[in-house]
Each structure stands twice: as C-alpha cells, then as structure tokens.
Chains A and B, each alone.
Chain A
Amino acid sequence: MTRPDQTVIDEAAEEYVAFGGDWDEIAQEMTRRKEERVVVNMGPQHPSTHGVLRLVLELDGETVSETRPALGFLHTGIEKTMEYRTWVQGSALATRMDYVASIMNEAGYCFAVEKLAGITDRIPERAQVIRVLMMEMARISSHLVCVGSAGNELGGTTLMTIAFREREQVLRFFEMVTGQRMNNAYFRPGGVVQDLPPEALGWLKGVYKSMVRGMDDFDNMVMANPIWKARTAGIGNLSLAACMALGVTGPMLRAAGLPLDLRKDKPYCGYENYDFEVCTATTADVYGRYLVRSNEMRESMKIVAQCIDKLEAMGEGPVMIEDPAIAWPAKLEIGPDGQGQSYEHVKEIMATSMESLIHHFKLVTEGFRVPEGQAFHAIEHAKGVFGVHVVSDGGTRPYRVHMREPSYNNLQSMAALCNGGTISDVVVCLASIDPVMGGVDR
C-alpha cells in the first residue's frame, strides 16, 4: 500500500550513490533532508562477513528493514571440475570448499563415493577410527574459529587469541598426520592416505589437557561474560518452526531445541560405538548457538579421547581397503630428503615387476570405475547437515557431484535473523550462522 503522499516524497528524494568519499558530508546532508532510509552495501570485502559475502542492507535509521545476501564471489566451479577428475582426485577438490573444516568435506565426499561403489562395509576398522578422530578434531577447529572470530567481531580480540591458540593445536596435529594444516586431501574413497605417524597419538595426549583447559578459559571468559550475554542473548531469534522451514541444521537447529545430530540418528563411520551427548539449547538465539558449540567441543574432545584409546588398543593394521582395484599401491615414506615414496615400492615397479608398474600407472592416471547409479550420503558437518549426491555413469570420473552445503543453506536465514533488528546485530547474527564462503559458493 502506498500512502497518498508517498509518491511525492519519493519524487522529491534525491538518490545518493557513494563511492568512497566523505561519509560525514553524506550524513550531514541526510540529516538536513530528514531522510532516514539508506541502503548500505556491507562487503564483499568487509572483514566480518567471514570471507567475500556482500550484504545489501536497507536501513531505516538504526533499524534493518531488509537484508539481502549476495553470493558467488568465491564460486570456483568445484562441482564442475570434479566431473573432469578421477574419483580419488575429487577428495582434493572437496577439501577446498569449507576450508575451516576441510576434513569434513572430504569425509562427506568419500562416504558418498564408497556408498556408490558399494564398499562401505569393507573399509578397515582402523581407517574408520582415524576418520572419526580427524572429523572430531575438524569440528573442534571449526567451532573454535566460529566462537573466536565472533568474539573478535564484538571487540574482544582476546577471545579470538584464546580460540585460535587452541585451534593451532588442531592444525599442528593435522600437519603431523597429513602434511598440511588445511586442504588435507587425507580421506580417499576406501580409507585414508596413510597411517598416523608413530608420534602423533602421544603428542595429542600431551596437549589434550591443555586444549580442554583452553576451552574452559574460553567458557569462563565468554559464556558467563555480561557484555557477551548482553550482545547475544535474545538476539537473532530463529524458532524451531522457522529452522525447519528454512532447512537450517547444525548448531542453529540444536539451539532451537531439536536434537538432530546425524552422528546419533543415522550413525556412519562407526559413530554408534562412541559415547557422547547431543548438545542442545532452548533459547533459539545467538547465545544458545554459542552454548551449543561450546558444549559440542567438549563432547568432541570426549570422542577424541575414545579414538585414542581405540587406536592404541587395536595396534597396527591396514588403513586402506584391501582391494588392488581401488587402493593405490604406493606407500608414502619419509626419505632422506624429508619426503617421498616408499623405497621398496619404487624398487619394485622400476626394477622388478613390469606388471606392478603398469598397474600403478593405470590406477593413478585412469583411476577406478564406479558402477553406474546415484547415491546420497549426509553427515553431521560442523555447520549442519552436509549432503553429497554423487552420480556415476560407470566411468572413472564422477558424472555429477552436488554438495548440499550447510553454510549455503543456513545463510538463507539472514533476512529472518536480521530484519527488524538493529544494524549492530547484523554482524552478531551473521557470525552465529558461521558461514564459510568457500563452502557457500563452492
């Protein structure tokens, strides 16, 4: 409905387009004209948009009347590229999506490919436990980045340094195990690339207590902090019904009271063998989301401890499916130069067995075939339900891979969270979704 005088006002209103320049002048001019409505472009380079997200905010004074997220700045065509690479190479692409929890992306991709290939039941036990360990470490890392950067955005740099200090331990562990801090490509269809190095578990046990203590520090400093509470409690409310309608999952949904956690509900990778709780809150606000994340990190630490026990109890064993048609024959081994392939294997293929060389060459360049059909596998990503839909035409490359990214989906709720609130809450709401644009745009 337009008011009778609306058109007159609209015609009279001048449009300001600001490209840099002096905001003071614009603000003064607006005050003089008594114009309260202003459209602000937040991002794509704004530091608190968690990457390159552009938010178009329509403001009425201090109040946000409309929020429109614009995405695609980090779109790299990962799904398309996968169609031109082998099934194994897909893991190295998937890991680059949500780079804060990269292990989780690999996990979702590999589980879906394994389901499609029908080898889920043949993955060695040790590989599954290592996978759970790595996924939970990734969850801790992701949650720490989420809570830490949220603290930073609210002006508490110390909160970020505490969180990042503990995250550093996770990344050190990743580097020790996979050789890289992120973009690991450690999970492959059929298992994991290589076993844990001998010193890894001992090292992890050494830092375990200090990590838990770091989480306590964080809790003491944040969750009971009156300023933090004032900024987050009752802000960005998204009820359970709204979550279901918008398909919002993960900590946001659990903060609205629904204990939907696929690790418990549809266990994969042996999660049914671990003792942990699904964390929920009932406040459905930003505070509740951080409470859920904070508690989830401790539950993840519990799972990590169980993984360490299991791995130590089970001893040596294969970490890749024992199927020469899928598992790469080469073993990685640290040579005198600090990197390289197993000397024994190189000797075999270069000096002893022509057939081994051919097999190695064909498997690496051509890849293995996956029977035609389609499969969908959903895992509980740090951000929510991460579903991977893979389609095969019977070839050595995926016919189609689609990721149902939780960040992408959850970001849809921005308008529901922000509209009607104040502009100072926009950053708080966005941070509580915990979107990572690499995953959103893919």
Chain B
Amino acid sequence: MSINHPGDASQELVVGGPAAGAPEVIEVRHGAFGAHDTGDTSGFGGLTRLVQIAGSSPRPYGGWFDAVADILAEDLAEAGLDQAIEKVVVDRDELTLFIRRQDLVAVAQFLRDDQDLRFELSLGVNGVHYPGDRGREFHAVYHLMSVTHGRRIIRLEVTAPDEDPHVPSLVDLYPTQDWHERETYDMFGIIFDGHPDLTRILMPTDWIGHPQRKDYPLGGIDVRFKGASTPPPDLRRNYS
C-alpha cells in the first residue's frame, strides 16, 4: 500500500477551476504508538507523521468528472457564484467538491436540476470532526447519485467552524435529508439552518453532548481478569 498524495503543488493553474493545491496538514503526530504520557521506551519517539486532508487535484480529473465540473462551473458563473467551489479533489476514483458553506443550496439545486447533471437521489449527509482543522472543524459530507446519468455518485463537502457550526439545510431540495440531518445534528451538533424540525433522533432528547465528536469519550470500564485489569478501549494504547 502506498499513501496517495493527490494534488501536486507544482501543477499549473487551471482555467475554470481552483488551482491545484498542496495537501492541508491538520495534525502532526510523534512516535509510533501514540503514547505521550510515559517515557519513550520504543525507540520510535522521534518519528513524525503528518495527518493531511487532500489538496485540490489538477486537471484533467478523468472520466465524467471534468464534464460535471465544467457544467457546474458554467451554471455557477451564470448565477454569479464563481467562488462557490473551494476545491475539487479526485481521489480513489471519486469526485469531491468542497463547497463554500453559504452556496451549498445553490450548488445542490444546480446538481439536481441541470439536465446534464441530474443528481436526483441524495444518499444523506454525514459529519466528520477534524479538531485539528482550525476554523473548519466540522465537515458535512453529502453523497448524491444521478439516476439519469449512469448512477454516478458525487461527493459534496462543506465545512463549518467549531464556534459557528451552522450549515444550510437541504431538506427543501431533498426531503430525504430530513432524518440524515437530524442524525448529524444529534451526533455532531452541526446545526442545519432551515431544517423544519431539527431535534435529536437516535439519542434521548435530554442527552447532553454530541457523541461522535472527537472530544467526546467512548466511555467504558476496566475489564478485570484474575487480578489484572485492562483499561477501556479508549484508554488503551493506540497505534495511530
């Protein structure tokens, strides 16, 4: 296995899309075993590893990705929203569009209604919490499928800062987003503005906190066995 590094900083600017960019470093990790509280007995304490989010990919993206990106860019330019797409990432045969938060609804509207795009089927939204991505801690990730055009799947990613975890709701465009946005609110505390009934769905209504955030502990108790005890999973040594 080799780590893919999509996007090379030396790539040239591309017309009609954002520049190819370097990956964004969100965390620097030291050592091999993730142990920070004890002395380094492994000899691997000097290791450094960067955790990165892919930078934008250079053209051509390949396959149908270019056509979709071009048509969408055209629609957005007509609507005066040239800056709506922050970056385009092509990785593992998947197209990801990072969308400026305030333009999400407009972009989704074009993706759904333009006859050359027609992403009619929403596969829901998912949150990802990157505490190290300063000012963009919460990512809302959408997957849309085009039934008309060969069941293509496209991914939209929108970010929101920790202090202001608001993302516009897509319920008006895709009614199926209703429960998915409620779940993401429940698990991450991302507030979907314009959702008709943004309440908890899986956790009890009086629950405090949002369990899928990275700073929310897994919980658990020691496992005792014949005098020795094993700490709960979130306190065990991890190798990340």
Q: Is the CB of B202 within 8 A of A75?
A: yes
Contact status of A389 and B143, CB under 8 A, knowing A119-B1, A246-B176: yes
Identify the interface centre among A72, A83, A119, A441: most chain B CB within 10 Å of its CB.
Answer: A72
Q: Residues of A contacting B183 with CB < 8 Å?
A: 408
Q: Residues of A contacting B234 with CB < 8 Å?
A: 84
Is A364 an interface residue, CB under 8 A from the partner?
no
Query: Which listed residue (B96, B141, B143, B202) contacts A71, Cβ 8 A?
Result: B202
Q: Is the CB of A373 within 8 A of B123?
A: no
Query: Which listed residue (A83, A325, A400, A412) contacts B1, Cβ 8 A?
Result: A325
What's the least CB distance linking A204 to chain B, in Å?
32
What's the least CB distance linking B151 to chain A, in Å?
4
Q: Is the CB of A441 within 8 A of B218?
A: no
Is A216 an interface residue, CB under 8 A from the partner?
no
Q: Is the CB of A115 within 8 A of B92?
A: yes
Q: Is the CB of A394 within 8 A of B51?
A: yes
What's the least CB distance linking B96 to chain A, in Å?
8
Q: Residues of B contacting A119 with CB < 8 Å?
A: 1
Query: Interface stretch among A54-62, A144-152, A257-265, A295-303?
Result: A257-265
Is B54 an interface residue, CB under 8 A from the partner?
yes
0/1 per residue, A226-261, Cβ < 8 Å to B?
A: 000000000000000000111111000000001010
CA–CA, A115 and B147, complex, Å = 22
Is A402 an interface residue, CB under 8 A from the partner?
yes
Q: Residues of B contacting A116 with CB < 8 Å?
A: 92
Query: Which listed residue (B120, B151, B201) contacts A72, Cβ 8 A?
Result: B201
Q: Residues of B contacting A248 with CB < 8 Å?
A: 176
Is B61 an interface residue, CB under 8 A from the partner?
no
0/1 per residue, B95-138, Cβ < 8 Å to A?
A: 01000000000000000000000001111101111000000000
Q: Is the CB of A404 within 8 A of B123?
A: yes
Q: Is the CB of A371 within 8 A of B147?
A: no
Contact status of A397 and B238, CB under 8 A, knowing A84-B233, A247-B121: yes
Q: Is the CB of A373 within 8 A of B1?
A: no
CA–CA, A325 and B1, complex, Å = 9
What's the least CB distance linking B172 to chain A, in Å?
11
Is B65 an interface residue, CB under 8 A from the partner?
no
CA–CA, A368 and B126, complex, Å = 25
Query: Which listed residue (A85, A118, A246, A441) contacts B92, Cβ 8 A?
Result: A118
What's the least CB distance linking B23 to chain A, in Å?
9
CA–CA, A116 and B54, complex, Å = 14
Q: Residues of B contacting A393 with CB < 8 Å?
A: 27, 51, 240
Q: Is the CB of A376 within 8 A of B239?
A: no
| Residue in A closest to B175 when the chains form the complex, CB atoms | A245
Q: Is the CB of A396 within 8 A of B240?
A: yes
0/1 per residue, B12-35, Cβ < 8 Å to A?
A: 000000000000000100000000
CA–CA, A71 and B180, complex, Å = 13
- Which chain A residues (366-412) contact chain B, with CB distance < 8 Å? 366-376, 378, 385, 387, 389, 391, 393-397, 399-400, 402, 404, 408-409, 411-412
Q: Is the CB of A80 within 8 A of B218?
A: yes
Is A77 an interface residue, CB under 8 A from the partner?
yes
Q: Residues of B contacting A396 with CB < 8 Å?
A: 238-240
Q: Residues of B contacting A373 with CB < 8 Å?
A: 4, 6, 54, 91-92
Give 6 A-B contacts (CB < 8 Å), ordered by A residue. Answer: A75-B203, A116-B92, A247-B124, A373-B4, A396-B239, A409-B180
Could you list which residues of chain A lie within 8 angstroms of chain B, going by C-beta atoms?
A: 71-72, 75, 77, 79-81, 83-85, 115-119, 244-249, 258, 260, 262, 265-266, 325, 366-376, 378, 385, 387, 389, 391, 393-397, 399-400, 402, 404, 408-409, 411-412, 441-442
The 7 closest A-B pairs by CB, nearest first: A395-B240, A247-B176, A402-B126, A72-B202, A265-B151, A371-B3, A84-B233
